[in-house]
Structure 1
């Protein structure tokens, strides 16, 4: 027995050193996905919307009450494209632990008689929707859901409404106001945190994705399913996420992809 113990010591020492020098397992299991949507057409200036109610209050914000359904940045970037993992049941082990630190609430404000922000997303398992009225007039905050109960809440000035979604949705949900018909926004409620929206430069980033073969959804309020390439049927992309950075590069979007263009 003593001879066996002596012979094992070098092996155990080498094994211990190997474990210490090996890179963390987590570093090899996660990757990011990024890209940039660029519009190939000639961008037009967003039109101002008709302020048909509460003009004495909302009229003060006429410069920001514009059609936000199709916003092109200075560099041609398409804003407000939803990009998200198309997965209805994602095992908890495939969600990076850092997402446990996400804020408990996602706030949508009625401010200046528009929704701020215009688009947003939340993880239904960890986050609630907080609707807040920052205006001096009442708003009727609405969210039209498919799998969840729809929301239709009167919000007097400075009122708040906390809402919990039960299920993840497959598509973004329309937000509206029953009092001010020009108000519109979009909310994505998923059962995982792997989503992003493109900024004013057209860029998006989803971080800490689990490595493997996945399908992603592209969606934009003006186009619906955003089919930027022929093989991306119904705006769906099948990708192999590798450890580290995964880059779709520049994604060109043409006028023909958008209704009314």
Structure 2
């Protein structure tokens, strides 16, 4: 009898949780601002101001971060095991590349100076140890991201003040950064469960949007959504120019 019971357990179907993906595109609801050069002591540099990048044809907004919000009142999800990976932030052409680097708790961060100048790289983390490193051309340094961070962390250069990027450290894999067309996709999400997402951009607080012809408030720049199994596409999300200061 015990053998029969064990056989039933081994052959019983196992319920597999269905997964969902979430796609959206952020669109500037106005005339796209022209790319601006960075000025130093009144002199224009060849470096572009990256605070607000909008595609001149599609009006897509770049570098918007959307992540599953797991703080108070947020989503309660199972986080899959994560073996830390080495994330790389490059210094080249007078900028940090990429402008927004998405990482996960447990990763290591390597900052590599591929430029011709020396830089003083500053990272003022909230939860991870702060870091200030003098980085000569061709040199790099690494640090461990042992904790998630409550907000995108600026990475700056004390020598070249126009240089500014961001490092995002989340405690799960459910986050993405919008590309040059304003589009992003988050995969592997649990389906049939209401989830809460946080939206961030350095140029302003995105707490009101237009979606499907309706004006919608996103208090604290967060929105809830119940995802169906498979693909979920919110379409174009229009952002008022008043919310984003370039």
Same structural fold, with TM-score higher than 0.5 when normalized by the shorter chain = yes
User: Structure 2 length as normaliser, TM-score?
Assistant: 0.84
Report if the CA contact (8 A) 1:227-1:234 is conserved. Answer: no
For residues 168-207 of structure 1, give each alpha carbon's deviation from its aligned partner in whole angstroms, at most 9, with x where no partner exists. 1121111110110000111111111111010111110001
Q: 1:226 & 1:116 partners in 2: Cα distance?
A: 28
Name 1:29's counterpart in structure 2: 18
Q: Which residue of 1 aligns with 2:33?
A: 44
What does residue 256 of structure 1 align with? Answer: 242
Equivalents in 1 of 2:181, 2:121: separation in Å? Answer: 29
Residue 224 of structure 1: how far off its partner (Å): 3.5
Residues 75, 196 of structure 2: 8 Å contact kept: no
> Quick check: 146-155 or 191-200, which moved more?
146-155
User: Do residues 117 (structure 1) and 101 (structure 2) align?
Assistant: no
Tell me the distance in 1 between the aligned counterparts of 2:199 and 2:76.
24
Q: Which runs of 5 or more structure 1 residues have no equivalent in the other structure?
A: none
Q: Deviations over 1:51-108 (max 9, x none)?
A: 46xx9xxx9xx43x111111111211011100001115999982356x65xx711111
2:86 aligned partner: 105
Contact 2:68 2:75 survives alignment (8 Å):
no
Q: Which residue of 1 aligns with 2:212?
A: none
Mean Cα deviation higher: 164-173 or 223-232: 223-232
* DSSP-derived class of the 2:237 partner: strand
**What are the Cα deviations for residues 199-228 of structure 1, in whole angstroms up to 9, with x where unaligned?**
111110001012322210000000144532
Structure 2 counterparts to residues 7-156 of structure 1, below 5 A: 16=11, 19=13, 25-26=15-16, 28-51=17-40, 62-63=45-46, 65-73=47-55, 74-88=57-71, 94-96=78-80, 100=83, 104-125=85-106, 127-156=107-136
1:179 aligns with 2:159: yes
Larger strand fraction of residues: 2
TM-score (norm 1): 0.79
Which of 1 and 2 has greater Rg?
1
Q: 1:258 offset after TM fit, Å? A: 1.5
Q: CA shift at 1:165, angstroms?
A: 2.0
The alignment yields a C-alpha RMSD, in angstroms, of: 3.0
Matches within 5 A, 1:161-180: 161-180=141-160
Contact 2:206 2:239 in 1 (8 A): no
- Structure 1 outlier segments of 4+, above 2 Å: 88-97, 224-231
